[in-house]
Amino acid sequence: MREFLIWAADMAFQTAYALVYVLPLVCAVGIAVHVWPRRFGVLGSSASRTGFAIVMAAVWLLAVVGGGLLFYVSQNYSREHGFVLIALIAYMAPSLILSLIGLILRYKTRARSGEDD
């Protein structure tokens, strides 16, 4: 079980490391699509905006699960993973901020327009 938890924590970190530039870009495009849906053609559709919202929620899921795994592993098995936890927070911070802005915009625009997907 120990090896599996360490492996899962490492894979969560490697996933965040691999997506460090892609996730903020996707979140920024999602924010632009939520603000100006008519300027993006097919990307401005309701299904596409829902997809962007799902990706933004998945960013938070990756950060919470990866951070939780790394914290658990650093407390119980390997103190070295505490430094990896700090790096995970640094890698995920821009994505988390942009996805939070995007999710708030989605909530506010849906509440204002009464849109029902």
H or E stretch covering 35: helix 22-35
68-102 pLDDT, tens per residue? 998 999 888 878 888 888 888 899 999 999 999 99
Write the pLDDT tens digit of every residue in 97-111. 999 999 999 888 877
The whole-model pTM stands at 0.81
In 3D space, the residue among 17, 18, 6 whose CA is nearest the CA of residue 90 turns out to be 17
DSSP states along 4-34: HHHHHHHHHHHHHHHTTTHHHHHHHHHHHHH
